[in-house]
Amino acid sequence: MNHGFVKVASAIPSVKVADCQYNVEQIESLVIQAEGKGIEIICLPELSLTAYSCGDLFGQQLLLDEAEMALIHLMNVTRSLNIISIIGLPVPYRGALLNCAAVVQRGKILGLVPKTYLPNYKEFYEKRWFQSGADVPEGTVLICGQQVKVSTKLLFNTPSCVFGVEICEDLWAPVPPSSTLTLAGADIIFNLSADSDAVGKYNYLQSLLAQQSARCICGYVYSGCGFGESTQDVVFSGKGLIYENGTLLAETKRHQFTPQMLESEIDVERLRSERRMNTTFAACAAQCSSPRSGGAQEWLMVDAERVPARPFSLTRVIDPHPFVPSGKRLDERCQEIFDIQTEGLAKRIQHTGAQTVVLGISGGLDSTLALLVCISAFDKLGLNRRGIVGITMPGFGTTDRTYTNAVNLMKLLGITIREISIKEACLQHFADLGHDIEEHDVTYENSQARERTQILMDAANQMNGFVVGTGDLSELALGWATYNGDHMSMYGVNASVPKTLVRHLVNWVAERTKDESTHQTLLDIVDTPISPELIPGDEQGNITQKTEDLVGPYELHDFFLYYLLRWGFRPAKIYLLARQAFGQAYDDATIRKWLRIFCRRFFAQQFKRSCLPDGPKVGSCSLSPRGDWRMPSDASSNLWLRECDELG
């Protein structure tokens, strides 16, 4: 099962200018290699059968005849192959010469797509030799003994995807053919190119491909001419790139002197899911197909031959931490999220006219991040930090490490500190309930969480303020919060920040903190095991209740959450991706175990998310019942759990 992935390749053969026999031998070798790797569609560069830089030789009948003979040879080679090959060649058509892409499968030419926009540069004056596909009527041509459709409006339908083709300069047009091809249903665009090199041009091309694949919500496979093309005036470096919805999946090394083949898998299921959720895409497709808008076009869908299923293996890199970018992008992400949190809280402070904000400080990651956001908001509003009231509320499971860090951090940041122990209140509550204090069950734990929330709420009333929530996105997904306990606040600044990113945000602030004591305290908080500290510690006062021992590793749960919430993937596909992403970090049984627990808890705990406090959305995933996630609290999880149980 391919789980919606389509295996594609961008191939760059070595060529000799005007030597069609040599060129087709190089292409043949690459196509056979691709077939052996289970690739479904392979794209070669523009005019790859003749080489692009033939110049006035394109007017020679001998070259045109040899190009056709080379295509016949390739058709014979592929007669027993399942792969679809897209090859560039010049095609005489109705008194004109077209720069075409031939789509070939199992000895048959499925269609010829002519280039629409011809460059008129000093070094590339294609209008000297070729006619635009837009300037000739679509029809058929006899080539290689077959009557073949010639049109710029061809779509190719395979069992796994619909794809379209554009050629080089087409991409650079204000409205590229790929824009209308994707609106007409193409999932993937293949571009046969002959883009020469110049300083800064490659970066621009990458930007263009990223933008076009993102705007069209499509896969984009680009294959550019390489070694062997004429270097009389320009150089062709062999650019191969594969994009998916704005993300670069793979790219070739440029300026290589040997043939290259770039391969990856494009997730068509993901693209189609994104299009369904993006109502603007559907609206634009409807607008462009409306006769009233002048955009109605007759698209011709060509069905590729159905071939037997091939063994599938995933080769593309899957990031195990989809919420956490790397390198410079992580700094940028942290800055942006922190700014969003700060502005959200600042607006709420300003709107309510609150004199204080109140939050519980435990010495853990979430409350630390919330406190840092409060500090940032107060500083930007020009308010005295004493208006931030941090309340530490030691309980039965509070350890010296977290208590010390909580108190030290509040002192170092210059906020108002209050300490209110919850032990006596909880003991009285247990006595009132007739609950045995030695029975460390859900009542024992949740009573402490609700007592803390009651203190925060009443303290906020007492000081004309409001409670800032500290719970994060991962806890909301798992329901790892006490209903009407830490689940509740007046504004939850961390509500859409996943746990894996909370750690990086706190560390990011620590690395930018000039005061060494604050810096060290924050780093120690980052290194502290995640725990609600509702169960007494061991004899040495160490944390015994570690959250990840109970509900599973947060990096796994955040991975599951991202693909379930952002893309709507089923458990089987999430499992496939997790195995690829985490490699040897977790064995298959461990991934299956926590995936099932995630699915069970995600459905069972929806009631907590149905009444969430306000909080700012910071990324692509949010569980706010007023925006991103509107799910019935009593929805059945049977379908998801059944598939989890069938994973092997």
The pLDDT score that the predictor gives to residue 542 is 67
Q: Decide which of 303, 319, 337 is a domain's last residue.
A: 303
pLDDT > 90 in the chain, percent = 83
State whether 256 and 351 are in the same domain: no
274 lies in the same domain as 407: no
In tens, the pLDDT along 428-484 reads 999 999 999 999 999 999 999 999 999 999 999 999 999 999 999 999 999 999 999
What CATH number did the domain enclosing 622 receive? 3.40.50.620
**Bridge partners (DSSP) listed for residue 141:** 148
List the structure tokens of 83.
Answer: 């792969």
Q: What percent of the chain has pLDDT over 70?
A: 96
Please say which residue of 286, 303, 320 terminates a domain.
303
pLDDT at 398: 85
Q: Count of CB atoms within 10 A of residue 464's CB?
A: 12
Residues 338 and 193 in one domain: no
Q: Is residue 46 part of a domain?
A: yes
Tell me, yes or no, whether 588 lies in a domain: yes
3-state secondary structure of 137: coil
Q: Is the pLDDT of residue 215 over 90?
A: yes
Model confidence over 512-535: pLDDT tens digits? 999 999 999 999 999 988 776 656
DSSP state of 576: H
**Residue 344 structural domain:** 328-646
Rounded mean pLDDT, 565-580: 96
DSSP secondary structure of 469-537 = E---HHHHHHT-S-TTTTT--SEETTTT--HHHHHHHHHHHHHT---HHHHHHHHHHHHSPP----S--
pLDDT for 548 beyond 90: no
pLDDT, tens only, 378-396: 999 999 999 999 999 999 9
Is 312 within the bounds of a domain?
Answer: no
Structure confidence by residue, pLDDT tens digits, 171-199:
999 999 999 999 999 999 999 999 888 88
Query: Are 215 and 115 members of one domain?
Result: yes
Find the catalytic residue in 115, 153, 239, 608. Answer: 115
For this structure, is 599 an active site residue?
A: no
> Does residue 644 carry a catalytic annotation?
no
pLDDT value at position 359? Answer: 97
306: DSSP letter: P
Check whether residue 275 and residue 332 sit in a common domain. no
The CA distance from 238 to 241, in Å, is: 10
The Cα-based distances of 424 to 185, 421, 539 in angstroms read 66, 7, 22
Verify that 230 and 336 share a domain, yes or no: no
Sign for the pseudo-dihedral over CA of 34, 40, 46, 51? positive
**Phi, psi at residue 165, to the nearest 5°?**
-130, 135
Please check whether residues 68 and 121 belong to one and the same domain. yes
**Residue 122 pLDDT:** 55
Q: Tell whether 313 is covered by a domain.
A: no
Considering the domain architecture, whether residues 278 and 350 belong to the same structural domain is answered as no
pLDDT given at position 293: 47
CATH of the domain at 134: 3.60.110.10
Residue 511 appears among annotated catalytic residues: no
Q: Are residues 274 and 401 in the same domain?
A: no
Is residue 317 situated within a structural domain? no
Looking at beta carbons, which pairs linking 305-312 to residues 24 or more positions away fall under 8 Å?
Answer: 305/105, 305/106, 305/108, 306/159, 307/82, 307/106, 307/159, 308/82, 310/38, 310/40, 310/82, 311/38, 312/1, 312/2, 312/5, 312/7, 312/38
Phi and psi torsions of 578, nearest 5°? -65, -40
d(CA 4, CA 220): 16
pLDDT at residue 327 in the model: 86
Give the active site residue among 144, 161, 168, 599: 168
**Of 28, 35, 46, 445, catalytic:** 46
On the question of pLDDT at 230 being above 90, the answer is no
Question: pLDDT confidence of 550, banded at 50, 70, 90?
Answer: confident
51 and 186 in a common domain: yes
Phi-psi map region of 353: left, alpha, beta (phi>0 left; psi -120 to 50 alpha) = left
| Counted domains in the chain | 2
**pLDDT value of residue 537:** 66
Contact 241, 250 (CB under 8 A): yes
What confidence score (pLDDT) does residue 397 get? 85
Q: How confident is the model at residue 290 (pLDDT cuts 50, 70, 90)?
A: low
Domain-embedded: residue 623: yes
pLDDT band at 119 (very low <50, low <70, confident <90, very high): confident
Q: Is residue 67 part of a domain?
A: yes
Determine the pLDDT at residue 536: 74
On the question of pLDDT at 294 being above 60, the answer is no
**Which of 187-201, 214-228, 284-298 is predicted most confidently?**
214-228
Choose one of 268, 288, 303: the last residue of a domain.
303
Q: What average pLDDT does the chain have? A: 93
State the pLDDT confidence band at 621, using cuts at 50, 70 and 90: very high
Tens of pLDDT along 68-95?
999 999 999 999 999 999 999 999 999 9
Q: Is the pLDDT of residue 224 over 50?
A: yes
pLDDT in tens, 120-154: 765 567 889 999 999 999 999 999 999 999 999 99
DSSP string, 330-341: HHHHHHHHHHHH
Are residue 284 and residue 371 in the same domain, yes or no? no
Report residue 93 CA to chain centroid gap.
43
DSSP H or E run through 420: none
In this predicted structure, what is the pLDDT of residue 545?
Answer: 66
- H/E element, 300: strand 300-303
The pLDDT assigned to 627 comes to 85
pLDDT of residue 231: 85
Token look-up 């020679």 returns: 60
Residue 322 belongs to some domain of the structure: no
More confidently predicted of 295 and 288: 288
Residues 69 and 193 grouped into a single domain: yes
204, 167 contact by CB (below 8 A): no
This prediction has a pTM of 0.90
